[in-house]
Amino acid sequence: MVLAIDIGNSTTTIGLFGEKGELLFRSGIATSRSTSEDQCALDLLGLFQLYRSDITVVSGAAISSEVPSVTAHMRGAVARLIGKPPLVMGPGTKTGLNIKSDLHTQLGSDIVACSVAALAKYPSPVIVVDMGTAVTMSYLRERTYEGCVIMPGVRVALEALSERAAALPHISIEAPGSIFGHNTVDAMRSGVVYGNASMIDGMIGRMEAESVPAATVVATGGSAPEVLKYCRREIVYDADLVLHGLYLIYQKNTEGRIRRS
């Protein structure tokens, strides 16, 4: 079994894959920058107990992290629990991607993992939309990562709006009955939901205008479900894209060692 861990700025997503590559469980916990190795170990043990799984049968693990202060603690916790160090994505990790980037180290490991999974699961060219703390949109063709755009995340933008404008309240993300808001809350909801849907549609068109039309547009991330259904483009939602990418990358980086042993 393989443990996949994606440490994001807001949420750490954890998944366990079985012997045939099936996802046995998936869970998310809040990312804490003040965590310790012991706390990470307790969090993992708690999740395995919750999902009635045995951590002692885990044969390996892969970690993607956007929060350096948490990476070492999680790496140490995983190594202690499964008896071997996890694969931590970074320079030198085999991905199978031809990345067109001035500095490969500037490309987030979660974006790389999503890209690997998208190319393995969907027809190319493919545009990957990741709607988390930030909204990233990546264009992939065959095995080449052509580039991406990065925009403020839905919740980040909404929180900034509420905090900077004293008269605007904090609201939940949901579509109003009409695009025309007749009160402050509905007007904000219209802007957040329909505005972000229009942004995604528009950026897809601009990316395709500089390359070729995408065969697939796939989206992932916590904010995606509230927005995608209002997009005019057909977009596949895949909640587990980054976890599947980590699993595939782990397999690619351990294949030779497994055969030799």
201 is catalytic: no
**Cα–Cα distance between 56 and 88 in angstroms, integer?**
20
**Cα–Cα distance between 236 and 81 in angstroms, integer?**
36
Q: Give how far Cα 207 sits from Cα of 114, 164, 198, 200, 203, Å.
A: 18, 32, 14, 11, 6
Length of the chain (residues)? 261
Active-site position among 6, 110, 130, 186: 110
Amino acid at 82: I
What is the token pair recorded at 127? Answer: 């545009």
Closest by CA to 127, choosing from 143, 115, 138, is: 138
**Cα–Cα distance between 152 and 168 in angstroms, integer?**
19
Judge whether 107 and 95 are in contact, CB under 8 Å: no
Supply the residues annotated as catalytic.
110
